[in-house]
Amino acid sequence: MRLDSRAPLIRLAPLLLLSLALSRSSDVVTQSSRPENSRYFQMALFTYEFMQGGVNWLDVAGYADIPMFEGYVDSSHQPAGHSIMRLPTWDHDLPLASVNVDWSRVLAVVVDEPFATIIASYHDPATIGAECTDQNIGIAAARGKLMAAAAAVHDAAPRTRFWVNYSGKEVHVMRRDVCPLALNDSAIDVVSLDIYQADFSAAIRDHYDWFISRPEQQQIALVPATHYKVGVDSDSRAAARLEGFFEYANTLNQRCDRPLGRVGRTGNYDGCPVWVVAGWLAQPVYEEASVVHHGLLNESSGGIRSTWSSQFSKGRRFGNRDFFGDE
C-alpha cells in the first residue's frame, strides 16, 4: 500500500454446573453462540490527508472506530480521542519524543512496507539457485533503522503499539525456503499484510495463520481492500472479498487470551489475536503508475461502502461484553 489472528450423569452434574458457571463468567464466546448482530473487532481506515485526493479522519468518522492521522505534522491534525498515527518518516533521525502529539491518545504507530523498496531490487535465490552471500546488507541497515524506530516509540509511549505493515513481497522473502530473511521481530507489537485483488481464503489467510503462530505476544491487523482498481477489478468483487476478513477476525477474536506482551494492559483489545481490521484505502481517487484506485469514499464504490458499513453498524464486543472504548 505504499504511496510515493463416560460416567453416570449424577456424577457429572456438579462438574456440568461448574462448567456452566465458568462459561457465563468467561470472556470466551463460542462461534455458535455469537450474537448475529455483533462484531468482535475494531475497525479503521487508512487516510492520507496530504496526498492526492487527500481525506482526513473527519471524512471517515462514520466508518471507523479508530481514526488515523499522519505523524510529523502539526498537533492540530491529531484527533481529539484515541487514534492511530501513520509514521511515513520512520527512518528519520528526528527523535520521536520531539513529535508534537499527545502520546497518551496514540494507540498505535504504523510503519508501511519498510523493506519493500530494497526487496524489489533483489534476485530470489529460490529461483536462480544462488547461495546466501551478502544480499542482506541493505536489509540489515533498514532493519536497524526500523528497530530504532520501535525503540523510540517504546520510549516515548510505553503503552503505544508499534505496528508494521508488510507487502506480499516482504512476506515472501520471510517465508521462502532458501535464504529466508528475518524481517519480523518480537519488538513489533502488531503486524499486517497488504495483498489485494485476491480471495482471502485462497491467497491471504495462510500468511496470517503463519504470522499468528510467530511471537505469541504479537497481534495481527487485517488490511482488506476498501478500494478497487479501475479496469482491473470491480466494486462488487472487492465488496464480496471483505467478508473473508470479517469472518476471520470474528472467529479468531472469540478468545482474547494471548499474552499481553510489551505494552501490557492498555484497555484496547488486549490479548486478542486481531487488534484491528483497517481498510485500505478511503481516498475517492488515487493514481499510481497509471493505475487508478477508487477508494471507499468514491461514489462508484457503493458495494464496498455498503458491506463495510453493514459490518461497522454491528455492536462492537470484547469477549461476551459490549465494548465501550475501555475494558
CATH number of 35-313: 3.20.20
Is residue 159 helix, strand or coil?
coil
43-45/274-279 β-pairing? parallel
**Crossing angle, helix 168-175 and helix 205-212, to 10 degrees?**
60
Q: Which residue from 275, 301, 175 is spatially nearest to 222, judged by alpha carbons?
A: 275
Q: How far apart are CA 290 and CA 308, in angstroms?
A: 27
C-alpha cell at 119: 526487496
Beta strands in 137-201 (DSSP E): 161-167, 190-194
pTM metric for this prediction: 0.86
193 bridge partner residues: 166, 222
Task: Phi first, then psi: give them for residue 127, nearest 5 degrees.
Answer: -105, -25
Residue 72 binned pLDDT confidence (cut-offs 50, 70, 90): low
Q: How far is CA 22 from CA 16, 17, 19, 319, in A?
A: 10, 9, 5, 14
Cβ–Cβ under 8 Å, residues 66 and 84:
yes
Please report the DSSP string for 92-154 in residue order: -SS-GGGSSS-GGGEEEEEEE-TTHHHHHTS--HHHH-PPPSSTTHHHHHHHHHHHHHHHHHH
* Mean pLDDT over each residue of the chain, to the nearest integer: 84
Residue 134 binned pLDDT confidence (cut-offs 50, 70, 90): very low
Task: Phi first, then psi: give them for residue 146, nearest 5 degrees.
Answer: -65, -45
Tell me which residue has cell 485500505.
280
- Percent of the chain scoring above 90 in pLDDT: 61
Q: How far apart are CA 46 and CA 166, in angstroms?
A: 15
Count of Cβ atoms closer than 10 Å to residue 18 Cβ: 10
Is residue 324 helix, strand or coil?
coil
Residue 57 binned pLDDT confidence (cut-offs 50, 70, 90): very high
What tens digit of pLDDT does each residue of 75-92 get?
678 998 999 999 888 877
Residue 137 binned pLDDT confidence (cut-offs 50, 70, 90): low
